[in-house]
Amino acid sequence: MSTDKILVATLGLVGIIFTFWFFLMKREKEVSVENEVDITVSGGYSPEVISIPKGKTTKINFLRTDPTDCLSEVVLADFKIRKTLPLNQKVSVEITPQKVGEYAYSCSMNMYHGKIIVK
Amino acid sequence: MAEVKKTFPIKGMHCASCVRVLEKSLSRLEGVSSAVVNLATEQASVSYDPQKVSDADLTSAVANVGYKAGLESELKTEDEQRQEKQKQLYDLRNKVIVSLFLGALILWGSFPGLMDIAPPLLTNSWVQLLLAIPVQFWAGWEFYRATIPALRHRTANMDTLVAIGTTVAFSYSAVVTIFPQLVESIGVKPEPYFDVSTIIIGLILLGRYFEAKAKAGTSEAIKKLIGLQAKTARVLRDGKEVDIPIDQVVIGNVIRVRPGEKIPVDGEILEGESSIDESMVTGESMPVDKTKGDTVIGATLNKTGTFLYKATKVGADTMLSQIIKLVAEAQASKAPIQRLADLISSYFVPAVLMLAIATFVVWYVVGPAPSFLYGLLNMVAVLIIACPCAMGLATPTAIMVGTGKGAEHGILIKDAQSLETAHKVNTVIFDKTGTLTNGKPVVTDVVGDVLQLAASLEKGSEHSLAEAIVSKSESEGVKLLKVSKFKAIPGYGVEGMINEKKVILGNLRLMEREKIDISHERGRLARLQEEGKTVVILAVNSKAAGLIAIADTLKETAKKGVEKLQDMGIDVVMITGDNQKTANAIAKQVGIKRVLAEVLPDQKEAEVKKIQQEGRKVAMVGDGINDAPALAAADIGIAMGSGTDVAMESAGITLINKDLASVVSAIELSKKTMRTIKMNLFWAFGYNIILIPVAMGILYPFFHLLLNPIFASVAMASSSISVVSNSLLLKRYKI
């Protein structure tokens, strides 16, 4: 095999490993929330992982600053909440989880994900 | 963060001091830079930082000083959202037109065959570069705009794939145009591919345009329901009729409704009568006659008469508001079938990126010359053909259309899980009283001329059978006679004196006690009892004069509903607290073979579980109040709605119209929705599983077939449209 082919194969392998590490090996920092949290919606949800107490009502304020259409709705299916997020406008939802566990939420097309950990 | 200025109506203002109080309260909020309230227009204009202040903050600042902000009006937000969506669609349409037009010009100047008849200007690479730049960075900007923040979050989506794919094609073409010798030095003919980058962007945006239009149709049901709401109510105040906005109606208000008008809120008729079209809420197509004491449902249409009624439920408590809430919740829920799709789609985009890299490497290393170009174009094709959107849209769009369709016909589905379970049902258990029957006894047979005497006697009784006899006499216009020495004999019947004759009315035991000979009536008595009827005997001066048979009547739709279920291959079971004889008689009339009689209310749950243990998927149909435990125990509980209350916690499905045929409709709707979901998932996954390897070039070694990236974009755009359109087809299904 010629040098350029070896180089391309090596770089390709590195690219694949990097892609795997970059997208699939990320560890999101968990933010502990007491009563209320602001989540910025831009290219995903920040903070992406929040932990909230069981049996208490927590207010989550979503503020979408990213015009991507995909993000214009947020779906918290476990809590039966689907909310339209108008651009630059705070939209609040209140949840009172009764069970401990991890509850994922996403945009309406299931492209962007966030997580609520109930402790 | 840019400041936002919002103008909204304030209710309850009446003097200049209100203005100051309101301005002060709003200005005190952290993040509000100015607040101006206008008494004449009754509006407030507030400039604020949206990161610090929400609509809820503004609303509570106004409410704290005793007024009401018109910020939370659902209709207004809907309106704003619609405008925002329309603007987005308009912008998108412009981008599609410009990019496809410029793309077509570039294609004309570069496609073999076409380029021979193109103006020389268009064949010039520099001209093509100039035409491609606005498409890549203006029309295609939204792909970058979505990709950059997503990468910051270490996530990738469809926009990432399109952004990378088109950037690769555009950058390569730009290098070819600016430094042709560089490409020549690696043995590749310097040909740009601006047609690929521009047409891909144009076609994907075109797909997005159609998809957005179709997606709007999936959430139409909620908008339709909100649109049913009346805007004003004509309330009686100090003897005068005043039109007020519907949100100002309070419980106890007396409201006048004229022919052809919408009933504003739920309530009870005080005066007058009318025929009311409730189809928009209950799905019941025949107008319902209502009179004093009957309940009316807000948002339904008054047809003929004028009446006065008292508001009993307003705002979020009305039946329509509850339906809207229930449908919205169902549409936000997730069906179990979606879990696998969710899991796969969360790994999908990174997997495609890795496959795209692998495609380039394999073509470069082992592909034919010019291997660089083959690798590049096939890599772009892989990035473009992958369509995670179709997978994300497959289930929710069908659920939204399915639940919406149900709501339009009085079938309220609690969540996606209930919709999914309903299609697996193979046994339906009906509670008898109030579900298969009307739950109200009526006189079915009168033997002998005994109705006048019986009704006269029973007028003074409170027994439910007495009510049936009296109402029969009323409906036949029978004049009642004077009764003296009336006496109720608990467990037996009643007696009294009419026209100086002793009249007794009661069951067989009463006749035996009084030693009355009924031998000539025995045959008829037995036959009526066989039919499941309760029979009372009337005797005058110790001589039997005749019989009256009373029975709970079947609902008109019961027989047809049961037959349809049996035609679908579903076992139908009846459960009741009645004795075996009565139960069998009713079951025979509707065609039910399996009867569970003499089951006490608290044993119904256990009976449901027993049938489940036989390996059956059970739907329990009941009134939702007495049967709550049984409904909850079944795989799916179906409650027949009562009055204006639709909040049936234990039921997965609530039928507002109390029509038994709706049980069939609900199961059929579930089957159709599930079929749509399965078709969508099959299409979305099948499409990706088959076409990604084709784009990688798997067919090349066998047939010398490769997928042009432009065709890849056509397939990609059509795949999500086809999924959404397939879900919309559910709307055509006739319930």
What digits encode the pLDDT tens for the residues B448-487? 889 999 999 888 777 767 888 988 998 888 888 998 888 8
Three-class HEC string of B175-199 = HHHHCHHHHHHCCCCCCCCHHHHHH
Give residue B75's pLDDT.
40
Q: How far is B402 from chain A (nearest CA, A)?
A: 16
Helix (H) or strand (E) holding B585: helix B580-590
**Which residues does chain A have within 8 Å of residue B396's beta carbon, measured at their own beta carbons?**
75, 108
Q: How far is A76 from chain B (nearest CA, A)?
A: 7
Alpha-carbon gap, residue A58 to A40, rounded angstroms: 16
- B300 closest CA partner among B338, B261, B351: B261
Q: How far is A20 from chain B (nearest CA, A)?
A: 7
Neighbours of B117 (CB within 10 A): 7
Q: Which of A88, A91, A108 sits opposite B4 (nearest CB)?
A: A88
Q: Which two tokens stand for residue B266?
A: 């739920």
Tell me which DSSP letter residue A25 carries.
S
Residue with tokens 């209350």: B645
B556 contacts: CB under 8 Å, gap ≥ 6: none
B508 contacts: CB under 8 Å, gap ≥ 6: B518, B525, B535, B537
Alpha-carbon gap, residue B222 to B77, rounded angstroms: 13
Residue with tokens 């998927």: B617
Whether A91 sits inside 8 A of B54 (CB atoms) is: yes
A73-76 and A81-84: which strand pairing? antiparallel
Measured between CA atoms, the residue of chain A closest to residue B155 is A23
Residues of chain B with pLDDT under 50: 73-76, 643-644, 647
Q: Which two tokens stand for residue B84?
A: 């925002």
Phi-psi region of B252 (alpha: psi -120 to 50; beta: other; left: phi over 0): left
Neighbours of B313 (CB within 10 A): 20
Report helix, strand or coil for A42. Answer: coil
Would the CA dihedral through B317, B321, B324, B325 be positive or negative? negative
Comparison of pLDDT for A115 and B315, the residue scoring more: A115
Q: Which two tokens stand for residue B68?
A: 């009401």
Cβ B549 vs Cβ B445: under 8 Å: yes
A–B CB contacts, 8 A cutoff, strictly below: 142
Whether residue A107 is predicted with pLDDT greater than 70 in this model: the reply is yes
Measured between CA atoms, the residue of chain A closest to residue B84 is A86
Whether A63 sits inside 8 A of B50 (CB atoms) is: yes
Residues of B acting as catalytic residues: 431
Q: Which residues pair with B235 in a beta bridge?
A: B242, B255
Whether A111 sits inside 8 A of B345 (CB atoms) is: yes
**Which residues does chain A have within 8 Å of residue B399's beta carbon, measured at their own beta carbons?**
none
Whether A23 sits inside 8 A of B353 (CB atoms) is: yes
**Which residues does chain A have within 8 Å of residue B88's beta carbon, measured at their own beta carbons?**
69
Q: C-alpha A92: how far from its chain's center? A: 17
Burial B683-694 (b: 16+ CB within 10 A, else e): bbbebbeebbeb
Burial class (CB in 10 A: 0-12, 13-18, 19+), B15: exposed
Residue with tokens 């709501």: B407
**Which residues does chain B have within 8 Å of residue A104's beta carbon, measured at their own beta carbons?**
342
B571-575 and B427-431: which strand pairing? parallel
- In angstroms, the Cα distances linking B279 to B283, B286, B411, B656 are 4, 7, 12, 10
Give residue B647's pLDDT.
47
Give residue B102's pLDDT.
96
In degrees, to the nearest 5, what angle opens at C-alpha B128 toward C-alphas B125 and B130? 115
* Residues comprising chain A, all counted: 119
DSSP-assigned letters across all residues of B374-403: HHHHHHHHHHHH--HHHHHHHHHHHHHHHH
Phi-psi region of B695 (alpha: psi -120 to 50; beta: other; left: phi over 0): alpha
- In angstroms, the Cα distances linking B137 to B141, B143, B199 are 5, 9, 14
- A62 closest CA partner among A84, A82, A41: A41
ipTM of the complex: 0.86
Q: Can you give the pTM of this predicted structure? A: 0.79
> Which stretches within B156-246 are classed as H helix?
158-178, 180-185, 194-218, 220-228
Burial class (CB in 10 A: 0-12, 13-18, 19+), A119: exposed
Whether B365 sits inside 8 A of A1 (CB atoms) is: yes
Rg (CA), chain A: 19
Residue ranges of E strands in B345-470 = 411-413, 427-431, 437-447
**Which residues does chain B have within 8 Å of residue A29's beta carbon, measured at their own beta carbons?**
none
Helix (H) or strand (E) holding B590: helix B580-590
How far the first Cα of chain A sits from its last, in Å, is 56
Whether B153 sits inside 8 A of A48 (CB atoms) is: yes
Whether A90 sits inside 8 A of B54 (CB atoms) is: yes
Whether B208 sits inside 8 A of A69 (CB atoms) is: yes
* Residues comprising chain B, all counted: 735
Alpha-carbon gap, residue A101 to B395, rounded angstroms: 24
Q: How far is B390 from chain A (nearest CA, A)?
A: 9
Q: How far is B51 from chain A (nearest CA, A)?
A: 7
